[in-house]
A and B are shown apart, each in its own frame.
Chain A
Amino acid sequence: MVGEPDIFRWPANPTELPKAAFHREDVFRLELERIFRGPEWHPLAHLAELPKPGDFKTFRLGDAPVLAIRGDDDRVRVVFNSCTHRGTQLQTCSRGHAEEFECPYHRWLFNNRGELLAAPGSDRFPAAFRKADYHLRELRTAEFHGLIFATCSDDAPELATYLGETAPLFEQVLGDGRLVLLGYQKVTFSSNWKEYNDNEGYHAPLLHRAFRLLRWQGGKGIQCATEYGHVGLQAELQSAANSDFLNDRSLVEFRGANGAPPKSIVIALFPLASVIKHLDVINVRYVIPHSVDETEVHYAYFCHQDDDPAMMRHRLRQSSNLLGPSGFISLEDGAVFNRLHQGSLTPGRVRYQKGVAAMAPPPCIVDQNDESANPIKWEHYRQVMGFERDQR
């Protein structure tokens, strides 16, 4: 147990959480160390965001600035976005193209494979100085359906093992990975990252009035909670029979897959990112935990390289208005995250209820509208953090 074990106690009941976990600075610092610098995998970019050699994207892994670069050898590397000399942040643009990266401070120059090419005045460096020791520090990476994952730790299991039962769902969202980037929506929530990622199927038809108006619920659906804390949801959506109240029904129209019912797929990865398909929207959400009470989310949207212009246009129009921070069926989430964070300043515990009787060790299948996958995810969190449970 961390910090002040007499204050911070993890409940014996696995369906309960201490609210202090959402506010304590010492817990947040330990999360950066054990989760974000620990043996977890984090998706940071899709190949479609770096389509050409020299393309780069900056992001954060936990609090650390990182740079994903497609080198002139066509290989995508993830490196720390920091000059190997004094640590200056090397690139500040969110996305761009570069043959070389020059640190402005002392003009150390790196190529887009991360290799140090030149350091001015190196004739006066110690004799033991070798450029090869000062290449940009590369993280361990793995690719899955075009999505680039990185980890700071050599102890992370193979990516396929880590993704577990969610792995087959990636095919349903990202297909063969040959995607085209449509753009980003970015938002900062005034909440802890664990409140942001603690959504479940219980709330969907209750918080989001559009779900009820569209009568989308009622089709078959399940959630699967996995060993490493991921939750994969797949649900059939009723074809939007009740879209009469919309003047432009294309917002909720499904044009993909011949004859198959429209689906909602949500791969909520531990700790933070998610990979989502809803109707024809293809969406990856990358997340930065800035502090105990600030969480930044980048929604990236894609179409497929084989889409005809009409399908591409349809995905673009649906993506812009349906699922994001101002989306027709999703806007209300942002308000709830803020309120969760304020409300969790009160004493006591979070207590999950719906479907918890069916909880079992992962992999565990639960109903699409239950909240019982969340305590299974929290158990992975507890173990990674090294918190001990109260005996009683």
Chain B
Amino acid sequence: MISAELLAAIDDLQIRYISALDRRDFDAWLACFDSHGSYICTPRENEEQGLPLALMMDDCYERLKDRVSYITQVWAGTFEDYWTRHFIQRLACTPGSTNSYSVITNFEVLYTSARGRSEILVAGCYQDEVIVSPTGAKFRAKKAVLDTSTTPRYLVYPV
């Protein structure tokens, strides 16, 4: 049985995560991961066919830091920007090894282009490993599995 406090800490992490993305605060996004954290964004189609390729494969903390640089330094000013709104729903939370929890969460992400039209960017589910410590919860591994096999235009920001 997982306590209400523990679930609250895990939900708070998910809220901080999507809030950081929707505010485009990538330092806050990075702060959601622990120092061994990883982020993978991949289409479900690849997963189901046993194909390891991802859309974003930040499988070490160095790559997470690099993703922040791509967005804020390398790509900045070269792409047509868009605004996102993430909506999430926790489906399951199961304890793993010490202080580690496996969390499944549905997501839907809307995007609004510079032209002011809002459409669905992606839908899917997070398969996360969360580490809970006295200072709060952090992602050890966050995996966004997209039902959307063909995404519109480009994904600048993580999901």
Q: Is the CB of B75 within 8 A of A332?
A: yes
Interface size class of A (residues with CB under 8 A): 35 or more
In the complex, what's the smallest C-beta–C-beta distance from A24 to chain B, in angstroms? 22
Is B54 an interface residue, CB under 8 A from the partner? Answer: yes
Contact mask A173-205 → B, CB, 8 Å, 1/0? 000000001111111111000000000000000
Give chain A residues whose Cβ lies under 8 Å from the Cβ of B70. Answer: 210, 328, 331
Q: Which of A181, A246, A247 has the most CB of B within 10 A?
A: A247
Does B28 interact with chain A (Cβ within 8 Å)?
no
Question: Which one, B15-23, B99-107, B145-153, is touching chain A?
Answer: B145-153
Taken together as a complex, chains A and B put the C-alpha atoms of A296 and B153 apart, in Å, by 9
Cβ–Cβ contact B153 & A321, under 8 A: no
Check if B89 is an interface residue, CB within 8 A of chain A.
no
Contact, CB under 8 Å: B57 / A321: yes
Q: Are B78 and A185 in contact (CB under 8 A)?
A: no
B31 at the interface (CB under 8 A from A): no
Query: What's the nearest-Cβ distance from chain B to residue A137, in Å?
Result: 27
A183 touches which of B53, B58, B74 (Cβ 8 Å): B53
**A183 contacts B66, C-beta separation under 8 Å:** no
- Would B57 and A317 count as touching, CB distance under 8 A? yes
Digitize A316-341: 1 where CB-to-B-CB distance is under 8 Å, 0 elsewhere. 11011100111010011011001100
Say yes or no: B78 contacts A335, CB within 8 Å: yes
Name the distance in Å between A280's Cβ and chain B's nearest Cβ: 14
Q: Say yes or no: B149 contacts A94, CB within 8 Å.
A: yes
Q: Are A248 and B62 in contact (CB under 8 A)?
A: yes
Since A95-B49, A248-B60, A335-B153 are in contact, a sample of 8 more A-B pairs with Cβ atoms closer than 8 Å, ordered by chain A residue number, is A94-B45, A181-B51, A185-B55, A245-B69, A247-B62, A247-B66, A325-B151, A335-B79
Those 3 A-B pairs whose CB atoms lie nearest each other, nearest first: A183-B53, A183-B51, A320-B57
